[in-house]
Structure 1
Amino acid sequence: MTELRLIPAAAVMWMAVAALILSGTWKISAGLLCVAVLVSCVFKLWGQTLVIGALSAGATLMAALRIHSAREFPPPQTWVGNAETIKVLASGDQLISFRVAGYPTPIPLFYSGDEAIEKASLIAVSGRVQTDSFPGVGDIVISAEDIDVVEAATGYSAWVNHVRDGFAYAVESSVGESSQGLLPGMVLGDTRLQDPLESQTYIDTGLSHLSAVSGSNVAIVVSAVVLLSYFLTVGPRVRVAVALVSLAIFVSLVGFEPSVLRASVTGLVGLLAIINSSRMEPIQGLSLAVIFLLFYDSNLAVHYGFLLSCAATAGIVMLYPLLYRALGPPLSRWHTPDILVRALTVAIAADLVTIPIIALMARQVSLVAVLANVLVDIAVPPITLLGLIAVLASLLPWPVEYPLLKIIEPFTWWIHHVAQWCQQLPHATVEVAAGWLGIAWACVIGLWIVVALHQGFVRELLIGSLLFFAFGMWHNKLPAQIDPSTVRFVVIAEVSEIADVARDKELIIVEDPSGLSSDRPTITKEGIPVLFPYRDGDVTLHVDGTQHAADGRF
């Protein structure tokens, strides 16, 4: 049980830092720490007492100092700092992770202007400072009114931007639309070519971890380098050194996003385990990753992405042996290839432990995530490895990357169309009731699935799933459509004008394209349906009063 010795320290440390950030006071964190230390003393676990106390107190103190530094930071008239990451929102606005010297954490910066901001450039910002609604070390966001580029990215950062821009241009020039958004995202974490509808498709089908760089990409890169070094007959320490260099280059190209940091540290722990695997268990490596990352960035304690990554990794480590023993024998009797059984087991393990977190985060759960992940599993390694070779090839003066991209295109086409097909299945996602009751139901259902699989009810679960989706196909037959031109409708420019619409109208059409696309129909409190054709795309009205989006979101 030595592989479990770091779990209590990592768990208490995580809870203490999260409690401090969420509550804004040290009292709850101190209470958690005292209870944990007291329990360790009662059971005479003196080593645990020391480790839990030292690590939790140190991480909590680090978070408290960062919070104090953020609160005491004097707001300047003009903010000057570096643009670390840039994401284009559905509204067309840019969300910039803005690093200001002296401020302990990046500041969310919203910018609606036309100025193209380059990653890692030094910018001067003037605008409105508001309170951030999301908890964290910092408590401000900036809505930029004006941005001046003081200095473009230089040195290595400029080279990274050149690599990403060159690869994005090569992808746009050589592959079809269904692959353009996915390929740079999977290879370099560059999601600039993904539109909001495409991103939502991957979220609805449980494939969002593939639409940008995640732990699986890091694992594939490190494993490939280690295997290549092995076939070249170099020693274990040289293999580790080469893999470390490859990992460092890969992460610097992708960027230091929270999910990439978690995946990178886990990969580093895995490399250390190669030297002495008998003393480095996977769950111990995950605990070390949590401890290191919470010292590095206190904000990770309240990030859903970090929680999902750690939960999925822990679920695979703990549930995979149990589920494989349960699924292996019955599926082998049906002549199912072992590689497919393993992929199915990993997908189920990761999905079951993340269901409650996703339900809390999004208030909906994907019922097609396991199916989608199994179907696309075979396509991920070729995209990652060949994509990285294509990135290197794009740096050459000759267009040698185009043949590689054409080889990759069928794999990305497959993932994209699997996501679209799974999203359009009946009941692909289900709504979860708000509050802890919905989360509790999600947990109970997940536990019952584990029990059913462990007890050997594989056939019954499979038949039940097929009947569920078959009933959904029959039940999901849409009633007759209503032609909007045959009802009393009104066209307005902005959402704010809805309150002025007469109550005798039967349909409201809003021309404003700004805002995120909705994942549910919109109606007024008087029951008048509201359509956003420039934001939500094609949405149809039906005689039973329902609305249905063409892409299957609702």
Structure 2
Amino acid sequence: MTELRLVPVAAVMWIAVAALIISALHVLALGIIVVAVMVAVAFKHWGQGLVIGAVSLGGVAIAALRMNSAQEFVRPDTWVGTAENIKILDSGDQLISFKVEGFPALIPVFYSGDLSIEKASVIAVSGRESPDSFAGIGDLTISTTDIELLSPATGYSAWVNQVRDGFAQSVETSVGESSRGLIPGMVLGDTRLQGTIESQTYIDTGLSHLSAVSGSNVAIVVSSVVVLSYFLTAGPRTRVAASLSALVIFVSLVGFEPSVLRASVTGIVGLLAIINSSRMEPMHGLCLAVIFLLFYDSNLAVQYGFLLSCAATAGIVVLNPLLYLALGPPLARWRVPDIVVRALAVSIAADLVTIPIIALMARQVSLVSVLANVLVDIAVPPITLLGLVAVLASLLPWPVEYVLLKIIEPFTWWIHQVATWCQQLPNSTVEINAGWLGIAWASVAALWVVVIIHKGFIRTLLICCALFFLFGMWHGRLPEQMDPTHMRFVIISEESEIPDVDKGTELIIVKDPKGSMSQRPIVTSEGVPVLYPYRDGEVSIHIDGTQHAADGRF
């Protein structure tokens, strides 16, 4: 049980820091620590109580100092800082993670202007300040149309931007549409070429971790270097040095954002769990990772991404051996390859433990994520490794990367096809009722799946899943589709023109691509269907008056 000795330490520190950030009550955070120490002392775990108290107080103290620094920071009329990360939103606006010297947290800046911002460039921002809708150290967002570029990225940062831009350009001109968004995302975490519909497809099928850099990418890079060093007869110290060097190079190319650091640490821990390392227990490594990351960035305590990464890693550490032992014998009798059994165990373990978190975060759960992850598992390593080689090849004066990208393209095409097919399966996602009751039901269902697999009722589980999807296929049959060209339709540029549409119009098509994707059918007060093909993708109209999105959103 020695590998579990840091679990209470990491858990108490995490809860105390999160409680402080959410409530801003120092008494509450200290109370949590005191109660935990008293419980440890009551069970005569004196050393455990001492470590819990020292580590948790240290984490809370650092978080409190950061919160106090943010409150006392003199807010200027014009903020000057560095653009750490840029994300293009559905509306076309840019979300910039903005770092200001002296301010203890990144500031989200929503920019709706035309200036193209690069990572690591120095910018001046002035606009409307408002409290952040999510709890955090800074509790500040800025909305603006006024950003001035003071100086572009320089030195190593400029070189990294050049590498990312050059690689994205090579991908865009070399591969098909289904691969353009995935390759830069999986290799360098660059999602600029991913459309809204494509991103939603990966979210709905539980493959969103593949559409950007995740712990699996880190594990593949590190493990590949370890295996290569082994075949080159390198010693243990050389293998470690080579692995760390590869990790540093990989992270420096992707970026040092909190999400990348989180993926790096949890990916290494997950790798330890899968290879069953004897030098460091995986759970011990995960707890050390949590403690280190919370000291590094207190904001991680209240971020869903950090919670999902740690939960998935813990699920792999705890449940993967149990599920593999339960799945192995029956699937071996069905002549299922061992590598598929291992992939299935890892996917189920990670999926089950994250179901309650996803239900809390998104109010929906993907029922096809295990299937999708198992089907694409074999395609991930070639994309990651050959993609990194293609990045290096793109720096050469000759188009050498073209050959590598063409080799990668069938793998990314396969992932895209799997995601599209799984999303279109009936009941691919289920809505979770608002409130804790719905989350409790999701948690109970996940626990029952573990029990059923552990007891050996795998055939029964597969039959139930098949019947569930068949029922959804029968129940979800769509009425006859109408041909829009046979309807009286009008095409307008913007939504504001809808009131001016002539009476008698049977269909309105809006060309404006801005705004979030619709989660339900849109009709006017008179019942006229309104379609946004450049924003929502393909939406069909049926004889009963209903609308259905091709990706299954409604």
Give the TM bin, normalised by the shorter chain.
over 0.9
Contact 1:94 1:110 in 2 (8 A): yes
Counterpart of 1:116 in 2: which secondary structure?
coil
Between 1:404-413 and 1:527-536, the stretch displaced more is: 527-536
Between 1:430-439 and 1:492-501, the stretch displaced more is: 492-501
Shift of 1:409: 0.7
Between 1:444-453 and 1:478-487, the stretch displaced more is: 478-487
Rounded Cα–Cα distance in structure 2 between residues aligned with 1:28 and 1:503: 61
Rounded Cα–Cα distance in structure 2 between residues aligned with 1:340 and 1:218: 21
Q: Deviations over 1:65-88 (max 9, x none)?
A: 111111221111111100111111
Tell me which residue corresponds to 1:159.
Answer: 159
Matches within 5 A, 1:233-272: 233-266=233-266
Rounded Cα–Cα distance in structure 2 between residues aligned with 1:271 and 1:428: 29
Shift of 1:485: 8.0
Counterpart of 1:327 in 2: which secondary structure?
helix
Contact 1:259 1:309 in 2 (8 A): no
Tell me which residue corresponds to 1:86.
Answer: 86
Shift of 1:112: 1.3
Contact 2:316 2:349 in 1 (8 A): yes
Rounded Cα–Cα distance in structure 2 between residues aligned with 1:546 and 1:440: 33
Provide closer, same or farther for how the CA distance between residues 158 and 546 of structure 1 changes in structure 2, counting only shifts above 3 A: same
Tell me which residue corresponds to 2:475.
Answer: 475
Contact 2:266 2:309 in 1 (8 A): no
Tell me which residue corresponds to 1:17.
Answer: 17
Shift of 1:90: 1.1
Tell me which residue corresponds to 1:43.
Answer: 43
Provide closer, same or farther for how the CA distance between residues 253 and 105 of structure 1 changes in structure 2, counting only shifts above 3 A: same
Tell me which residue corresponds to 1:205.
Answer: 205
Contact 1:365 1:429 in 2 (8 A): yes
Tell me which residue corresponds to 1:221.
Answer: 221
Rounded Cα–Cα distance in structure 1 between residues aligned with 2:160 and 2:532: 38
Q: Does 1:129 align with 2:129?
A: yes
Unaligned stretches of 5+ residues in structure 2: none
Q: Does 1:412 align with 2:412?
A: yes
Shift of 1:36: 0.4
Shift of 1:447: 0.7
Shift of 1:279: 5.0
Rounded Cα–Cα distance in structure 2 between residues aligned with 1:390 and 1:195: 23
Q: Does 1:386 align with 2:381?
A: no
Contact 2:219 2:271 in 1 (8 A): no
Counterpart of 1:481 in 2: which secondary structure?
coil
Counterpart of 1:110 in 2: which secondary structure?
strand
Provide closer, same or farther for how the CA distance between residues 12 and 530 of structure 1 changes in structure 2, counting only shifts above 3 A: farther
Matches within 5 A, 1:103-118: 103-118=103-118
Contact 2:219 2:270 in 1 (8 A): no
Contact 2:270 2:316 in 1 (8 A): no
Rounded Cα–Cα distance in structure 1 between residues aligned with 2:128 and 2:448: 50
Matches within 5 A, 1:60-459: 60-266=60-266, 278-459=278-459
Rounded Cα–Cα distance in structure 1 between residues aligned with 2:485 and 2:378: 47
Contact 2:12 2:36 in 1 (8 A): yes
Aligned length: 553
Rounded Cα–Cα distance in structure 2 between residues aligned with 1:480 and 1:272: 53
- Supply the AA of the counterpart residue of 1:100: V
Contact 2:512 2:534 in 1 (8 A): yes
Shift of 1:28: 1.9
Contact 2:214 2:264 in 1 (8 A): no
- Supply the AA of the counterpart residue of 1:153: A
Rounded Cα–Cα distance in structure 2 between residues aligned with 1:170 and 1:470: 43
Tell me which residue corresponds to 1:534.
Answer: 534
Rounded Cα–Cα distance in structure 2 between residues aligned with 1:442 and 1:219: 29
Provide closer, same or farther for how the CA distance between residues 491 and 345 of structure 1 changes in structure 2, counting only shifts above 3 A: same
Provide closer, same or farther for how the CA distance between residues 481 and 266 of structure 1 changes in structure 2, counting only shifts above 3 A: closer
Rounded Cα–Cα distance in structure 1 between residues aligned with 2:157 and 2:551: 38
- Supply the AA of the counterpart residue of 2:221: V
Provide closer, same or farther for how the CA distance between residues 61 and 278 of structure 1 changes in structure 2, counting only shifts above 3 A: same
Provide closer, same or farther for how the CA distance between residues 47 and 500 of structure 1 changes in structure 2, counting only shifts above 3 A: farther
Rounded Cα–Cα distance in structure 1 between residues aligned with 2:149 and 2:37: 51
Contact 1:188 1:254 in 2 (8 A): yes
Counterpart of 2:83 in 1: which secondary structure?
strand
Provide closer, same or farther for how the CA distance between residues 495 and 271 of structure 1 changes in structure 2, counting only shifts above 3 A: closer
Contact 2:9 2:56 in 1 (8 A): yes
RMSD: 2.5
Counterpart of 1:123 in 2: which secondary structure?
strand
Contact 1:258 1:305 in 2 (8 A): no
Contact 1:503 1:526 in 2 (8 A): no
Normalising to structure 1: TM-score of the pair?
0.94
- Supply the AA of the counterpart residue of 1:380: V
Contact 1:482 1:543 in 2 (8 A): yes
Shift of 1:495: 5.9
Shift of 1:192: 0.7
Tell me which residue corresponds to 1:547.
Answer: 547
Shift of 1:27: 2.4
Shift of 1:172: 1.0
Rounded Cα–Cα distance in structure 2 between residues aligned with 1:328 and 1:434: 37
Contact 1:97 1:109 in 2 (8 A): yes
Rounded Cα–Cα distance in structure 2 between residues aligned with 1:176 and 1:492: 31
- Supply the AA of the counterpart residue of 2:4: L
Counterpart of 2:115 in 1: which secondary structure?
coil
Rounded Cα–Cα distance in structure 2 between residues aligned with 1:446 and 1:254: 34
Matches within 5 A, 1:492-511: none
Rounded Cα–Cα distance in structure 2 between residues aligned with 1:56 and 1:442: 31
Rounded Cα–Cα distance in structure 2 between residues aligned with 1:56 and 1:500: 62
Q: Deviations over 1:290-331 (max 9, x none)?
A: 000001011111111111111011001101111111111111
Rounded Cα–Cα distance in structure 2 between residues aligned with 1:167 and 1:374: 28
Provide closer, same or farther for how the CA distance between residues 398 and 479 of structure 1 changes in structure 2, counting only shifts above 3 A: same
Shift of 1:287: 0.4
Rounded Cα–Cα distance in structure 2 between residues aligned with 1:218 and 1:133: 31
Shift of 1:242: 1.3
Rounded Cα–Cα distance in structure 2 between residues aligned with 1:145 and 1:333: 63
Shift of 1:435: 0.9
Rounded Cα–Cα distance in structure 1 between residues aligned with 2:345 and 2:59: 35
Unaligned stretches of 5+ residues in structure 1: none
Contact 1:128 1:145 in 2 (8 A): no
Q: Deviations over 1:255-284 (max 9, x none)?
A: 12333212323456689999x954510000
Contact 1:3 1:283 in 2 (8 A): yes
Rounded Cα–Cα distance in structure 1 between residues aligned with 2:36 and 2:540: 56
Q: Deviations over 1:488-515 (max 9, x none)?
A: 9888876678899999998766554321
